[in-house]
């Protein structure tokens, strides 16, 4: 993980157009702190994950402390605290999907992408597969999210095509 | 209608009339279908009069608690001294529930219209729609619809903003949701103060569910008496409700029925019952947080707030999870416990420790290493997790444990006696 001891030069995220976007976001709220979740979403979109140094930059632009920002980042599961593969896949395995075969979908994805274990990234850097709790589409088992693409009714036999499509 | 299936003759289609109709997503398409007439009408009315109509209709909160909507609105200060806020709960995360997602996907303007009417009724100038982070498709559709409606200038002085969650079931709890909008960890707050006194940013606030607000425009244009007349059983439960049916049924999906409708007809007639050759074993009628029903109880249940309570469970969010005879109830209850352990915000000891230990004991039983006294231990834990914490997440973990042990004790005992093949839990 990137830390404050890194000696590489840090490229700030909130400059130019991204900074302008942040200004628009700030207008929606009565104070800067309330813009923290949307600001972190922008940061993750730009950098792929939320490093300690990005948290420090977010803290500075919103007038918060880095420790406060870290406290919020670590509460929410969708902010990546370490780099993830090009395709970040979330597979629902909660009870309603579970009884419809979600664990077989997870297994097929882990095997066919080379990711191996849930949460690990495949050696080619292309895939990170995670098991998540309820995605709110229980009538369409098994729903998965590939990055921002929400895909319904995934079964093990559909996994090879999916893997080919996103590879 | 029973999206993704065709409408069933036994449905009462109000909210779901345009599910599957992509043109209804657009501003023009919505107006063509009579959209925004209710808002125009409501904006000409005194806010208190709008609240009265909703009160009179009998509409109750569709997020799970079933609190009367008009009454909730009437708790907002009569004399406005501070900014008022409306929060729309689109954080739909209760396992088994996927109705708000469908409302946002197909009829985003119905939600926006209901939101603006509610904001007018409570005299809020700003409304935040809190959409869970995983709902990428509903987000895009809502964003587009909001831009179109803003361009048409339909909201008068009311500003509506979307706020994206970032993965936390607990943010569907109203005070956690407000904290999350404020840029904080989503920890629930101690009540009182109630949101109507000190809510978002410390200001008077009302929080309503998506489905509740989507019903409001219909009540305004068709009248409270019409809505009140939609009732098949108890007069305290009026209107239609979307039921999301999932698990072991042939046609899972969203179905809209008048409150008081028999659960048996929903499951067998509309959803086609369990897969061929299977029989229904159990059902969770209102999202994973409510007690499990046996087959006999399920078949005797009338779907309204009182009818489900009479069978020992709750109507909740209307997320119906069906288990047939192939389901391992011990394993599935472990999965539910694991869900709550994962989603606990960890503020309260009873919840943080209780959900984690419940999960560990369930896993131990499944692995064939359970002890006879484990069932009593689970029940004792559950008792200490019920009614003792800031919010009800802990109670929700206890519900399937207590009802599961009571109703499916034989399955637990089979693992304890070594009569079932142990399951190694990953």
Query: Is the C-alpha dihedral spanning B177, B179, B182, B184 positive or negative?
Result: negative
Give backbone dihedrals phi and psi of A126, rounded to 5 degrees, phi first: -90, -20
pLDDT at A1: 47
Superfamily of domain B34-229: NADH-ubiquinone oxidoreductase 51kDa subunit (3.40.50.11540)
The predicted model gives A59-73 an average pLDDT of: 98
Q: Give B353-368 pLDDT, tens digit per residue.
A: 999 999 999 999 999 9
Q: What is the pLDDT of residue B426?
A: 67
Predicted pLDDT of residue B4: 73
Per-residue pLDDT tens for B371-409? Answer: 999 999 999 999 999 999 999 999 999 999 999 999 999
CA distance linking residue B368 with residue A67, whole number of Å: 44
DSSP symbol at B68: B
Q: B1 falls in which pLDDT band (50, 70, 90)? A: low
| CA closest to A90 among chain B residues | B134
CB-CB contact of A153 with A160 (8 Å):
no
pLDDT of B424 above 50: yes
**Using one digit for the tens of pLDDT, what is the confidence trace for B186-199?**
999 999 999 999 99
pTM tops 0.90, yes or no: yes
Is residue A156 pLDDT above 90, yes or no? yes
Which of the residues B85, B94, B95 would you substitute to probe the A interface, choosing the one with the greatest number of A C-beta atoms within 10 Å? B95
Once rounded to an integer, what is the mean pLDDT over residues B119-124? 98
pLDDT tens, residue by residue, B159-207 = 999 999 999 999 999 999 999 999 999 999 999 999 999 999 999 999 9
How many helices (H) does chain A have, and how many strands (E)?
7, 4
Buried b or exposed e, range B396-417, using 16+ CB within 10 angstroms = bbbbbbbbbbebbeebbbebbe
Q: Is A138–B97 a contact, with Cβ atoms under 8 angstroms apart?
A: yes
The arithmetic mean of pLDDT across residues B28-52, rounded, is: 98
Rounded alpha-carbon distances, angstroms, from residue B375 to B43, B270, B370, B401, B415: 57, 37, 9, 9, 11
**CATH class for domain B329-416?**
mainly alpha
Interface of B with A in 203-232 (CB under 8 A): none
Judged against a pLDDT cut of 80, whether residue B121 lies above it is answered with: yes
Residue among A33, A71, A79 minimizing CB distance to B182: A33
Residues with Cβ within 8 Å of residue A7, at least 6 apart in sequence: none
Question: Where along chain B do its domains lie?
Answer: 34-229, 240-324, 329-416
Rounded average pLDDT over A137-141: 96
Average pLDDT taken over every residue of chain B: 97
- What average pLDDT does range B137-147 have in this prediction? 98
Residue of B nearest to A137 (CA): B98
CA B238 and chain centroid, separation? 17
Are residues A95 and B332, on separate chains, in Cβ contact within 8 Å? yes
Say whether pLDDT at B50 is over 60. yes
pLDDT over threshold 80, residue B5: no
Range list of H helices, A48-100: 52-62, 66-73, 95-98
ipTM for the complex? 0.95
Tell me if chain B has a CB within 8 Å of the CB of A95: yes
Whether pLDDT at A2 is above 60: no
**Contact residues, chain B, for A28 at CB < 8 Å:** 161
Q: What pLDDT does B234 receive?
A: 97
Percent of chain A with pLDDT over 70: 96
Length of chain A in residues, anyone?
167
- The reply to whether residue A96 touches residue B246, judged by beta carbons under 8 angstroms, is yes
As a whole number of angstroms, the distance between CA B411 and CA B50 comes to 52
How would residue A81 be classed by pLDDT, with cut points 50, 70 and 90?
very high
Mean pLDDT of B282-302: 98
Is A140 near chain B, with CB under 8 Å?
Answer: yes
Q: How far is Cα B171 from Cα B177, in angstroms, rounded to an integer?
A: 4
Across the interface, of A78, A99, A137, the residue whose CB is closest to B332 is A99
Full set of structural domains in chain A with CATH: 16-73 (1.10.10), 87-166 (3.40.30.10)
Of the partner residues B167, B201, B321, the one whose CB lies closest to the CB of residue A77: B167
Report the CATH fold assignment for B240-324.
Ubiquitin-like (UB roll) (3.10.20)
Percentage of chain B modeled with pLDDT above 70: 99
Strands B253-258 and B240-247: antiparallel
Per-residue pLDDT reduced to its tens digit, B408-423: 999 999 999 999 999 9
User: What's the pLDDT score for residue B2?
Assistant: 59
- B404: part of which helix (H) or strand (E)? helix B393-407
Contacts of B255 (CB under 8 A, 6+ apart): B2, B8, B11, B242, B243, B245, B266, B270, B271
Confidence check: pLDDT of A91 > 80: yes
Residue B137 sits at the chain A interface (C-beta within 8 Å): yes
Structure tokens at B407: 């109703």
Comparing CB atoms, the residue among B253, B335, B336 nearest residue A139 is: B253
pLDDT classification of A6: cutoffs 50, 70, 90? low
């Amino acid at each position: 993980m990137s830390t404050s001891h890194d000696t590489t030069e840090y490229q700030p995220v909130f400059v130019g157009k991204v900074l302008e976007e942040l200004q628009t976001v700030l207008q929606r709220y009565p104070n800067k702190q309330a813009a923290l979740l949307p600001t972190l979403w922008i940061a993750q979109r730009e950098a792929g994950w939320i490093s300690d140094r990005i948290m420090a930059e977010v803290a500075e632009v919103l007038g918060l402390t880095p420790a406060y920002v870290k406290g919020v980042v670590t509460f929410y599961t969708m902010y990546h605290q370490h780099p993830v593969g090009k395709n970040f896949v979330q597979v629902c395995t909660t009870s309603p999907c579970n009884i419809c075969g979600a664990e077989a979908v997870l297994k097929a994805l882990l095997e066919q992408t080379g990711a191996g274990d849930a949460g690990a990234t495949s050696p080619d850097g292309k895939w990170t597969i995670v098991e998540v709790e309820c995605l709110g589409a229980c009538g369409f088992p098994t729903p998965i999210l590939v990055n921002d693409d929400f895909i319904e009714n995934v079964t093990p036999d559909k996994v090879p095509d999916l893997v080919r499509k996103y590879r | 209608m029973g999206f993704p299936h065709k409408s069933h003759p036994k449905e009462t289609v109000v909210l779901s009339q345009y599910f599957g109709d992509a043109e209804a997503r657009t501003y023009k398409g919505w107006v063509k279908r009579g959209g925004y007439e209710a808002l125009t009408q409501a904006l000409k009315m005194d806010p208190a009069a709008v609240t009265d109509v909703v009160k009179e209709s009998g509409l109750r909160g569709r997020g799970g608690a079933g609190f009367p909507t008009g009454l909730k609105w009437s708790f907002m200060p009569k004399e406005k001294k501070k900014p008022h806020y409306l929060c729309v709960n689109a954080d739909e995360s209760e396992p088994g529930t996927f109705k708000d997602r469908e409302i946002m996907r197909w009829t985003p303007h119905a939600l926006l219209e209901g939101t603006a009417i509610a904001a007018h009724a409570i005299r809020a100038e700003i409304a935040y729609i809190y959409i869970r982070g995983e709902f990428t498709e509903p987000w895009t559709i809502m964003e587009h619809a909001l831009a179109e409606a803003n361009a048409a200038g339909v909201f008068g002085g009311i500003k509506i903003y979307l706020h994206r969650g970032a993965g936390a079931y607990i943010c569907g709890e109203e005070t956690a949701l407000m904290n999350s909008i404020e840029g904080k960890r989503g920890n629930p707050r101690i009540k009182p103060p109630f949101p109507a006194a000190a809510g978002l940013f410390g200001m008077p606030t009302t929080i309503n569910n998506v489905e509740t607000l989507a019903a409001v425009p219909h009540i305004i244009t068709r009248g409270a008496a019409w809505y009140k007349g939609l009732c098949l059983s108890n007069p305290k439960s009026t209107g239609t409700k979307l039921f999301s049916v999932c698990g072991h049924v042939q046609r899972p999906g969203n179905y809209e029925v008048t409150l008081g409708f028999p659960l048996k007809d929903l499951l067998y007639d509309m959803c086609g019952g369990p897969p061929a050759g299977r029989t229904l074993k159990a059902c969770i009628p209102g999202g994973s947080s409510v007690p499990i029903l046996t087959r006999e109880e399920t078949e005797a249940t009338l779907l309204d707030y009182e009818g489900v309570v009479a069978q020992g469970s709750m109507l909740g969010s209307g997320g119906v999870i069906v288990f047939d005879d192939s389901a391992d109830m011990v394993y599935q209850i472990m999965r539910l416990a694991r869900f709550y352990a994962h989603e606990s915000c960890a503020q309260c000891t009873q919840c943080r420790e209780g959900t984690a230990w419940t999960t560990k004991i369930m896993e131990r039983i499944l692995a064939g290493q359970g002890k006879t006294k484990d069932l009593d231990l689970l029940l004792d834990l559950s008792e200490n997790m019920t009614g003792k914490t800031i919010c009800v997440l802990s109670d929700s973990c206890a519900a399937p444990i207590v009802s599961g042990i009571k109703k499916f004790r034989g399955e637990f005992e089979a693992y304890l006696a070594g009569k079932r093949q142990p399951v190694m839990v990953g």
